[in-house]
Amino acid sequence: MNSDWRSRVSEGTGTGPRNVPEPVYLDYAATTPVDPAVAEAVGRCLTGPDGLGNASSAAHPFGRRAAERIERARAEVAALIGAAAGDIVFTSGATESNNLAVLGAARANAHRGRHIVSSRIEHKAVLDPVKRLEKEGFAITLLSPDRSGRIDAQAVAAALRPDTVLVSIMLVNNEIGVIQDAAAIGALCRSRGVLFHTDAAQAAGKIPIDVRTLPLDFMSLTAHKLYGPKGIGALYVRSEARAHLQPIVFGGGQERGLRPGTLPTHQIVGFGVACDLALRVLSAERARLDGLRERLWRGLSTLGGAHANGEGAPCVPGILSVSFEGIEGESLVMGLRELALSTGSACNSASGEPSYVLRALGRDTQLAQSTLRLSYGRFSLPEHIDLAVDAIRREVTRLRALSPASEPAKASLGEALGEAGGPGQEVWVRFRLAVREGTVKSALFKAYGCPHTVAVTAWVAERLRGRSRAELAPGTPVEWADAFAVPVEKLGRLLAVEDALADCARHWPEPE
């Protein structure tokens, strides 16, 4: 293993501005760094004769050599999950694999029934195809998890109907890392003659998987979650279930007609090497990551008001999802400049909406929005975990002290106290103004909200000194938004700053 490369990924001493270290990478659940051995194998295919030919061109040695490399990689992918090589269908990633399994199985079996069972905490790559099927006339049942994040096999049993043709329940949740009881769910489906698909993108290479004993029909995999290249994945198709799956794209006939298109030799070879490495280090790496998870939670749990999502359920060792009481999530993440992490699923964290997975677990909107997903892996070290603990503790403590909840809302003699918003709302602003001879002598503030709200509140407080009751506000929310480049969708939050100043004016102390 290249230790210099590990240092660059973990500590950011390679690329980027000189003397400005990049953050410690704790977003392995979004994508893992490519292992150097994988990168080397991919490079050989890109620059040498091994990847020159098209695997479909069997008339010359270049095509045959590419085909041989692909079949070797197919066997390596299959070995990771205990499958036969012929049961592996290469795709562009888990998203395509999920679409192929859900759409392909449902449509191929529509003559037998038009009912699908899945869960509310699936990845969007399953939920969106399921919604597509609903528009095509399929009936959909989405099961809710228990408070630990597990889907009860008995709930699946209760949801099955005579016309149910497919159940799709993920093996490991991408946000909270909870491992579902796929064995029990699969056995139930098998006994009822229902096809079973599982999204194993977050499971493969992290926990042992053996499809020879696991009763399932389709399993989705992706390379970039296990130190392989992006843009390549696979769908395991049990040989007996192959007749119950139809393609969703057409042309070319590759991958036994289930996924046509020229095979990307370099990516497939990288995928195979990544699976081979993962299989060889799985046991030792799982134990090491268990230790890092325990170290991380031990450091955060003493903060108080910290909740480990998925607690009480079996979880993969490389993901820890923690929700913090009394914290606005965006402000928390913005303060953690030394860490690269997600507030939830990387696929959804940019939306600003609370995680639908956490809401399904019963977390309220505020707690769901104050959640960090910390994920770590092969190149993570104990010192990176310690740095993360120190940084998160610092920011949680700072933001809680900044919140109006940290002090009583009681004005002292000669003070104008005003606030807007409140507990449980997305904004809560309070000003405490010391008034002498009709003007502000000093101003203090407390604020709970997004970084823009906090920054504007602080800026306004600095400009209140010397102002009278009649001209208390230094400008308008629109002017503040322009000065701080506040996105238009957040403009309404700045009204709370204006309202808090208006409340100060209403509570202006009488002259002595």
**Tell me, what CATH number does 189's domain have?**
3.40.640.10
Residue 446 sits in a domain whose CATH number is 3.90.1010.10
Q: DSSP secondary-structure letter at 411? A: P
What local confidence, expressed as pLDDT, does residue 19 receive?
Answer: 56
Q: Do 391 and 290 belong to one domain?
A: yes
Answer yes or no: is 459 within a domain: yes
Could you say which of 189, 275, 315, 347 is catalytic?
347
Helices 61-81, 265-301: axis angle to 10 degrees equals 30
Query: Looking at the structure, do residues 94 and 201 belong to the same domain, yes or no?
Result: yes
Please list the pLDDT of the chain residue by residue as tens digits (512 residues).
344 434 444 444 344 444 557 899 999 999 999 999 999 999 999 988 877 888 888 889 988 999 999 999 999 999 999 999 999 999 999 999 999 999 999 999 999 999 999 999 999 999 999 999 999 999 999 999 999 999 999 999 999 999 999 999 999 999 999 999 999 999 999 999 999 999 999 999 999 999 999 999 999 999 999 999 999 999 999 999 999 999 999 988 898 889 999 999 999 999 999 999 999 999 999 999 999 999 999 999 999 999 999 999 999 999 999 999 999 989 999 999 999 998 854 444 444 566 888 888 878 788 888 999 999 999 999 999 999 999 999 999 999 999 999 999 999 999 999 999 999 889 999 999 999 999 999 999 999 999 999 999 999 999 999 999 999 999 999 999 999 999 998 999 999 999 999 999 999 998 86
Are 274 and 288 in a shared domain? no
Main-chain dihedrals φ then ψ at residue 247, nearest 5 degrees: -70, 160
**Cα–Cα distance measured from residue 34 to residue 48, given in angstroms and rounded to the nearest whole number:** 20
**Encoded tokens for 265:** 């030799």
158 and 216 share one domain: yes
Does residue 512 belong to any structural domain of this protein? Answer: no
In a domain, 242, yes or no: yes
Q: Which residues make beta-bridge pairs with 307?
A: 323
Q: Is 326 exposed, middle or buried (0-12, 13-18, 19+ CB in 10 A)?
A: middle
- 347 among known catalytic residues: yes
Q: What is the pLDDT of residue 343?
A: 81
Domain boundary among 372, 402, 432: 402
Range of the domain at 321: 3-30+283-402
Q: Where does 252-381 have alpha helices with state H?
A: 265-301, 329-335, 356-360, 365-369
Instruction: Look up tokens 């292992």; give the residue.
Output: 35
- Domain termination residue (choose one: 250, 278, 306): 278
CA distance linking residue 421 with residue 427, whole number of Å: 5
Let me know: does 121 contact 264? Beta carbons within 8 Å: no
CA atoms within 13 A on the CB side of 462: 6
Residue type (1 letter), 328: E
How many angstroms separate the first and last alpha carbons of the chain?
74
> For the chain, how many structural domains are there in total?
3
Distance of alpha carbon 231 from alpha carbon 95, whole angstroms: 10
Q: Does 416 share its domain with 396?
A: no
Question: Do 422 and 499 belong to one domain?
Answer: yes
Task: Tell me whether residue 392 is in a domain.
Answer: yes
| 7 burial via Cβ count (<10 Å: 0-12, 13-18, 19+) | middle
Q: Does residue 155 lie in a domain region?
A: yes
Domain shared by 107 and 152, yes or no = yes
Q: What pLDDT score does 9 carry? A: 47
Verify that 111 and 195 share a domain, yes or no: yes
- Domain end among 371, 402, 433: 402
Instruction: Give domain status of residue 174, yes or no.
Output: yes
Inside any domain, residue 461? yes
* CB within 8 Å of 175: residues ≥ 6 apart: 29, 121, 309, 319, 321, 344, 345, 355, 357, 358, 373
Task: Please tell me the predicted confidence (pLDDT) of residue 359.
Answer: 83
Say yes or no: 196 and 50 in one domain.
yes
- Name residue 196's amino acid: F
- Are 58 and 143 in a shared domain? yes
- Tally of CB atoms within 10 A around 107: 18
**From the CB of residue 44, how many other CB atoms can be counted at a distance below 10 Å?**
15
Residue 511 in any domain: the answer is: no
Judge if 274 and 287 occupy the same domain.
no
DSSP state of 23: P
Do 237 and 133 lie in one domain? The reply is yes
